[in-house]
Amino acid sequence: MSSGTLADRIRAEFDAREARQKAAEADRAKSQEAHEAGIEKFKSACEDLQAVWKPKFQEFAKQFGDKIKITPVVSPEQREARCTFLTELATMTLTVGVSASPDATMLVLDYNLLIVPTYFDYERHARMEMPLNSIDKNAVGAWLDDRLVSCVKAYLSMQDNEYYLRRVLVEDPITKAKFLKEDAAASIEHKGATVYFASEQSKKDYMAKHEIPA
């Protein structure tokens, strides 16, 4: 049987709950303090790494000239560079970001390359992590070099494919969108040639423009 009066036992439950709440609050305060310290380490690491990635992005942009636009994004817990390439066939968006892990103990580098539309395989994503307490600048630099070269390879592959795709792609005469013939939403015969459209609406607009009866 439990010892003590009913009143003692009830007070003990309330006291235990209060003790648990105080312990939880202390843990949260400690975690918050550690997180804030980690974010300060992250900011310091980013400042140190500027000397690593800034010249690499400058050289990368220099090689592409006016074909590329780089947009920097900076927040307390993230640094990001977004590069956009515009070509006749597709839009390439390269995003290289460095952020702190959720617990602010790790430096996280992410590489994401999006090509729309896509006609070939390429490296779409890569990630590298290392403790904020032991940043290896050489490893970060080598990883970034490899990723930028991977992006260049994807870009050149697209250019190599361009000459082939120009022979197999068709263009919607209304929207100017390019696509494979088998992906056309509609088509008609006009003046001895087949005209392909990205949508039924484009077809209707074309027929109205050229006074083609439905």
pLDDT in tens, 134-146: 999 999 999 999 9
Q: Is 82 within a domain?
A: yes
- Model pLDDT for residues 72-130, shown as the tens digit of each residue: 888 777 899 999 887 766 788 999 999 999 999 999 999 999 988 777 789 999 999 99
Q: Do 142 and 127 belong together in one domain? A: yes
Q: Do 79 and 161 belong together in one domain? A: yes
- 173: preceding bond cis by omega (within 30 degrees): no
* % of residues, the chain, pLDDT over 70: 94
Q: Is 6 within a domain?
A: no
Q: Is 119 within a domain?
A: yes
Q: Do 43 and 71 belong together in one domain? A: yes
- Model pLDDT for residues 157-181, shown as the tens digit of each residue: 887 776 666 666 788 999 988 777 8
Looking at residue 55, what is its pLDDT? 93
Residues whose CB is less than 8 angstroms from the CB of residue 193 and which lie 6 or more positions away in sequence, other chains included: none
53 and 144 Cβ atoms separated by less than 8 Å: yes
Number of domains composing the chain: 2
- Model pLDDT for residues 51-66, shown as the tens digit of each residue: 999 999 999 989 888 8
Q: Do 195 and 123 belong together in one domain? A: no
Cα–Cα distances (Å) from 14 to 1, 28, 36, in that order, read 20, 21, 33
> Which amino acid makes up residue 168?
V
Q: Do 123 and 93 belong together in one domain? A: yes
Looking at residue 205, what is its pLDDT? 93
Q: Is 17 within a domain?
A: no
Q: Is 112 within a domain?
A: yes
Beta strand 78-86 with 178-180: parallel, antiparallel or unpaired? unpaired
* Residue ranges making up the domain that contains 105: 34-166
Q: Do 95 and 184 belong together in one domain? A: no
Q: Is 8 within a domain?
A: no
Q: Do 44 and 118 belong together in one domain? A: yes
Edge to edge, the sheet with strand 125-131 lists: 68-75, 78-86, 91-100, 106-116, 125-131
Q: Is 3 within a domain?
A: no
Give 1's pLDDT tier (boundaries 50, 70, 90).
Answer: low
Q: Do 84 and 114 belong together in one domain? A: yes
